[in-house]
Amino acid sequence: MTKKDQADKKFESALEELESVVEQLESGDLSLEDALAAFEKGVGLVKYCNQKLSEVEKKVELLLKDKEGRLQLKLLDSLAGDEEKDE
């Protein structure tokens, strides 16, 4: 497994774990102490996921720079259209 695959897996795992934490909190079955611990865990997972998403966003921006190094913002729909033209 490559580093990228491992990072993707960690992100996906963190997101699934965050969903589980949210479900636990929403159930209302946790004691106050357990709810606080789950909330703290959730905050950590949100920070991790946001960091990973920011890293990916920066990589996407690098990939979208033109030959002069200027960022060319494109809508996702227009990117899909560009790929179809290349085929």
Cβ within 8 Å of residue 71, ≥6 positions away = 61, 64, 65
pLDDT digits (tens, 9 = 90+) for 51-82: 999 988 888 877 777 777 777 766 555 555 55
How would residue 34 be classed by pLDDT, with cut points 50, 70 and 90?
A: very high
Percent of the chain with pLDDT over 70: 74
Please state the domain extents for the chain.
Answer: 3-86
Give the closest residue to 39 by CA, choosing from 25, 49, 26, 20.
25
**3-86 is classed CATH 1.10.1740.10:** no
Cβ within 8 Å of residue 52, ≥6 positions away = 7, 10, 11, 14
Percent of the chain with pLDDT over 90: 51
pTM, full prediction = 0.66
Q: What's the CA angle centered on 23, arms 20 and 26, to 5 degrees?
A: 150
Question: Do the beta carbons of residue 64 and residue 73 sit within 8 Å?
Answer: yes
How would residue 10 be classed by pLDDT, with cut points 50, 70 and 90?
A: very high
